[in-house]
Amino acid sequence: MGTTLDVIKDAFPYLLQGLYMTVLISVVSIIISLVIGLIACFMRMSKYTILRYPAAIYVNIIRGTPILIQILFIYFGAPSVLDIHLSAFTAGLIAISLNIGAYNTEIFRGGIESISKGQMEAGRSLGFTYSQTMAYIVLPQAVRRMIPSFVNQLTHAIKDTSMLSVIGIAELTMVGQSIYAMNFKSFEILTMVALMYFITIYTVSLISTRLERRFVIS
Partner 1 sequence: MIMVKNLTKSYGDIEVLKDISTSIAPQEVVCIIGSSGSGKSTFLRCLNLLEEPTSGDILIEEKNIIDKSTNINKLRQQMGMVFQQFNLFPQKKVIENITLAPIKLKKKSKKEAETQALELLEKVGLSEKADAYPSNLSGGQQQRVAIARALAMEPHVMLFDEPTSALDPEMVGEVLRVMKQLAKEGMTMVIVTHEMGFAREVADRVIYIDGGRIVEEGSPRELFANPTHERTKAFLSKVL
CA distance 61 to 39: 17
The CB-of-117 to partner 1 minimum distance in angstroms stands at: 9
Closest CA to 183 of 172, 175, 171, 195: 175
Residue closer to partner 1, measured from CB, 126 or 195: 126
Does residue number 121 form part of the binding site for partner 1 (CB under 8 A)? yes
Contact track, partner 1, 137-176, x by CB under 8 A? x--xx--x--------------------------------
Angle of helix 88-114 relative to helix 139-161, nearest 10 degrees, comes to 150
Contact track, partner 1, 122-141, x by CB under 8 A? x-xxxxxx--x---xx--xx
Closest CA to 104 of 48, 42, 167: 42
Residue closer to partner 1, measured from CB, 149 or 155: 149
Query: How many other C-beta atoms can be found within 10 angstroms of the C-beta atom of residue 132?
Result: 13
Residue closer to partner 1, measured from CB, 64 or 118: 118
- Residue 99: C-alpha distances to residues 30, 55, 61, 170, 217 (Å): 10, 13, 10, 20, 29
Size of the site for partner 1 (CB under 8 A): 17
CA distance 165 to 91: 12
Contact track, partner 1, 80-119, x by CB under 8 A? ------------------------------------x-xx
CA distance 161 to 99: 11
The CB-of-115 to partner 1 minimum distance in angstroms stands at: 10
The CB-of-136 to partner 1 minimum distance in angstroms stands at: 7
| Footprint of partner 1 (CB under 8 A) | 116, 118-119, 121-122, 124-129, 132, 136-137, 140-141, 144
